[in-house]
Each structure stands twice: as C-alpha cells, then as structure tokens.
Chains A and B, each alone.
Chain A
C-alpha cells in the first residue's frame, strides 16, 4: 500500500536515536510505542511502527503523514535550502497576526481550499515559530506526492516567512494565501538563502542588532560600568610561547587589526550562511597589469561566489589571518546587517542611482 511506503520513506530520514522522541511527539502510536523494541535493525523498527499505526487506524488518518513529515523536517532542516520572504503591509492597516497553530491552520485551509481541492495541510509550533507543511496534488484524483510538499516557517507578529521546496506551479497561490491570511498586501523575495533556519531568522529579524550591536541584544554589555572598580585584566597572549627571547614585532598591527574586526563583526558567533554571491558590473580595475583595458568604458561582467560552512565567520578569519586587508569593504564586512546574500555591485553613476534607489 502506498501509505506504508510513504511512512518508510519518512522514517528512513531519521537517525536511530531520533526515532523514539519523534514518534512520541507524533502520538499516533499511543500505547503501542512501548511495545516496540528499538534495539532491532532500523528496517524492522520501521515495520513495527507501520504495523502499529495500521492497527490503531485501520482506515488511515489524514494528518498522520503530514505531521510525521514535519517533525522529521524540524530535526533535519539543514538538509534543504531555505529562502526568506518579506511581507509588506500598507501604512495603517490593522494587524491580523496569528500565533495559535490551530487558528493558523484553519485560516490557511480556507484560503488554499479556494484554489486547490485536494491538499494536505499541517501546522505545528516549534521553538517560537509556526512550521507549515503544504502538499498539493496535481490532479483531482491523484494523491499528493511527498516530494511536492512545500514547507514554510513563520514567526508570529513578524513579517518574515522562510520557505523551502516551493514548486513553480503553486508558488503564486501559496504566497498569496499567506498574504491574505496574515493581513498584508504584498510579499517579496529578499534574496536571502541558506540551510540553517535559525541563522536566516536571525539575519532577517535582528537585522539592526548584528555585529557589535549583538552585545546589547544578548545583554553582554555592562550598564553601570562606573559602579564598581575596574578589575585587573589578565593580559592573554594568543601565542603561548613563554620564551622571553622571542619578540613579536607586529603586535601593535595585530592588535589594531583584531580591534577593527571585533568592531565590525562583534565578539559573538556569526549567523551561518553557506554562500554569498556578488554580481559585479563595474568597470575593469586591473588596468595596472593590463594597460590595454584602460580605454574600455563598458562594465566588466563577472560573478564572485564565497562558499563554505559559515561564510561570514570565514570572512572574519580572512581578516584575522591577513589574507584580506582590513578594514574590509562594507559589502563584505556588513553582510550580517544587510539581510541578503545575493548582491549586485555597480559603479556610482547618475544612471545607476535610480536603480539603486528602487532596490533599497
């Protein structure tokens, strides 16, 4: 039966140690969960789970698949690439935010039900955010397919929506549904993508408190510095070489560099981004080595991509290890406060000014 295969597929995404807590939260197994012996092989544990579910609900349960899929995704959200959307509202429109998952589900179902007759919808609350799973079937007779499911994360009372796996056919309807349900007037892709949902949320929600301002957000700043005397700071040297004959000549430059980097990036860990892309449309600036290009007036089209596990941290380390000259340019150093990771760099000119104004 198709349901069995779907269950197996979803359960196969979980690791062995994650099975029990997820199934407990799922709740559709009830007492039968205690009968399953988790020390067996993964394949047999999955068979027990499927059997137990079939015994509980011989005719199936409409929300079971959706809920299990969403719970698995919450554990492994880093496997998918997420894109961030920004909801816009008109100046004085009344707020229509919703924080209750059940109410959110009802509203969405009403909105999406207008366009789609057959769909699976599931809303769960997880770590202060509402996680939504929308699975729409193509035809009226076919069942919704697992790989077509769109997942969204919405933080209540904020205009931020983080989405993954949105298919072109249903994208517009889903976006419009969210706009209507939450009482906004438009939705815009802010060109911020990544794998870590938490980091994306941080970048888009805390846009004005990143870098060195993160100290205030995280309560790391002493609000009354004069109320107690200065503690004697132990000078920590990064190099643990204690030989007095070794003299580091560039200590001063190093200190200055680290100070500048700390000012721009802040002392706290940076949000993780996997990729930053730049599209350069400026004039060619390598004329010192290629004098023949001095007469070129057109833009030198090229693209640059920085990739890694945590690119913002990596850029900070480039400055630390002197592979980059400090102070770094704003479009590289202030990525944490710009809430996007796809940039277009153009020359400052009157023609481009209007383009820049419309993009901000």
Chain B
C-alpha cells in the first residue's frame, strides 16, 4: 500500500499504487475509476497549521447548525471568477433572478411563499486546512403570499470544501474549488439556484449519488466512531434485487459497542489512513456472520442506506449529521468522494 506521491514526482506510468499523485490533465481517460487503496481517516493532511497561527475561535463556528437536519448533496465543478469580496453583488443578482423567474410564472406556484431575497455569506468553521477556500452559505428567505407575517428561511445551501486531497485539481487563480454543496429546501427553488450558479460561474452542478461501494467504505470508516453521548446502533439497509418478488429490503442493525470492538480488532492503530483491506475485513466479517445464520448472500444485495452514530447517508445523496464533533470527518470524506466523482467525468 503506497502513500500519496508528492506532486513533484508526478509520473505518467500506470503504476499499480492506488492514487498516484497526478493532475487531472495527465489522468488516464478510461471508463473505470481507480479504487483507492486507502483513505484519510483522521489527521490534517500535508498542510498542517503552524503552532502559532491563530485559529478561528470555536464560538464562531456554526457547525452546530448543520447537525440533525437532512441535507441533499451536490457536486460542483470549480467556479470561475468567484470573488469573495463581491458577495453582496451576488446576493443582489440572485434575488433579481429569483424574482424574474417568479414573474415569468416558471416558479412553483404550489408554495404559499414568494421567494424574496437571497443572501450570500461566509460560513465559518468549515474550512479544513489553509488550502481550502472559505465556505459560502446561500440563504433564501420568503415572505408569505398574503403579505403579512415575517419572512422565514426557505432554502439554505452551503458550498464547502474540507481538506481537499493534495492531488486534486491544479487550477489557475481565477478558479475557486468548492466541490461539495449541501442544500436544504424545496426542489423547484434548488433547481433555480443551481441554474443561476451554473450560468454565473460557468460550472456544472449535479446530484451526488453513492454507490454501494462508497457506502460500505463509509460504514467501515465510521462504524467505530462512537461518541460518548447519544450513540446509535450501526445500521446497514440492503435492497433486494427485483427478481426476488415479495422481499424488498433486509436491514442489519448492530449494537454500537460490539461494532466498536469489531472495528478496533481489525484496525491498525498506528496508521492514520484506513486501508482497503480493513474496509473489506469489516464488511465481509459482518456479511459472513449474517450468512452463518441465514444462508443468504448479502454480497449480492445493494447497500442502500448506512446509519452510524455520527451520520446517516443514503445512496441518493441525502445526509444527516448526528454529532457536531465529527462533522469535519464526514465532510472531509465527502469532499474526497466528490472530487473523485468530478474527476471521473
């Protein structure tokens, strides 16, 4: 298992080492993804902040607002000419766009509110390393149609990047890379905002969906993270192929404590990264425990939804955080997966 080669040693050979440090221009254009041999689990990565750099005080961090809400995940290609200084200008432009859409009659008429104002703002606390761009939050407020009452937040979207992997894109200065977008709000409004962002910043925003393989990595990495309070049992929900009529899902729920024992037993504590062998050991051992009791091959089913003590993720890209201490860890992984999925295209 090889470590990530530093950028200065980019070679063009198709080495069998998992994620060789190559920029996107030199990547092989094959239809296959290169499955990573190991993934970051904890730790800062290459750019560790110096001991004396002042870090943002925790009181300013708004991570608590992310917890216990269901977010939809999108992946975003780099934004062209996104300027942190002109957030107000963008707010005005987006509000005007939403207003114009409403007047055109395209906006969803079912809602009883009229989208009123959109605001861009900095979202503090989500920056992983100094190499990341600041996270941006877009909030859309709406007033009820009757004209009375206060305006309330109708949609909230956060664009962020948490500890971009070192061998990600190398782009010139005019691009800002915030690969992950989390949205909480109505579908119609989301579509309008996405189309505006695509038009304004020449980027491409698509739903993020997770394959069963991605979900099994997530449950393997986070299955052992059991916070002291509010620990939830680890759950894996499989959907059964359509040929089997009558049965639609099989759910396996494992007690948090015994899951942590299993996780500790397969894990090499000296290593900062979580390897493919460990992931395979975790999943395969659980599936073989299941097979011993039921003689049913879980490997042939599709893993659809994964619940751990720190987050619940499903294959359509919906995510919910349970613990604010671990939001960084989850988002770091999501950033990595988003970058991989963008590179694959």
| A residues adjacent to B (C-beta < 8 A) | 278, 280, 282, 284-293, 296, 298, 300-318, 321, 323-326, 328-329, 332, 345
Q: A323-B241, A324-B295, A324-B297 are in contact. Are A289 and B285 (CB under 8 A)?
A: yes
B-chain residues with CB within 8 Å of residue A282 when the two chains form the complex: 293
By the criterion CB–CB under 8 Å, are A289 and B265 in contact? no
A262 to chain B, nearest CB (A): 16
Cβ of B292 within 8 Å of any chain A Cβ, yes or no, is yes
A-chain residues with CB within 8 Å of residue B247 when the two chains form the complex: 306-308, 311, 313-315, 317-318
A-B contact pairs, 27 of them (CB 8 A): A282-B293, A285-B288, A285-B289, A288-B288, A290-B281, A290-B282, A300-B254, A300-B262, A303-B252, A304-B250, A304-B253, A304-B293, A305-B251, A305-B253, A306-B249, A306-B250, A307-B247, A308-B246, A308-B248, A310-B245, A314-B240, A314-B244, A317-B246, A323-B241, A324-B297, A325-B296, A329-B295
Q: Give Cα A298–Cα B244 distance, bound, in whole angstroms.
A: 35
Cβ of B1 within 8 Å of any chain A Cβ, yes or no, is no
B156 to chain A, nearest CB (A): 33
Within 8 A of A (CB), among B260-297: 261-262, 264-266, 280-282, 284-290, 292-297
B-chain residues with CB within 8 Å of residue A325 when the two chains form the complex: 295-297
| B residues adjacent to A (C-beta < 8 A) | 233, 240-241, 243-255, 257-258, 261-262, 264-266, 280-282, 284-290, 292-297, 300-301
B294 to chain A, nearest CB (A): 6
Interchain CB contact (< 8 A) of A304 among B243, B251, B282, B301: B251
By the criterion CB–CB under 8 Å, are B293 and A293 in contact? no
By the criterion CB–CB under 8 Å, are A329 and B294 in contact? yes
A256 to chain B, nearest CB (A): 16
A-chain residues with CB within 8 Å of residue B280 when the two chains form the complex: 289
By the criterion CB–CB under 8 Å, are A323 and B250 in contact? no
Q: Give Cα A318–Cα B280 distance, bound, in whole angstroms.
A: 24
Interchain CB contact (< 8 A) of B285 among A286, A308, A316: A286
By the criterion CB–CB under 8 Å, are A293 and B261 in contact? yes
By the criterion CB–CB under 8 Å, are B244 and A317 in contact? yes
A-chain residues with CB within 8 Å of residue B288 when the two chains form the complex: 285-286, 288-289
By the criterion CB–CB under 8 Å, are A307 and B262 in contact? no
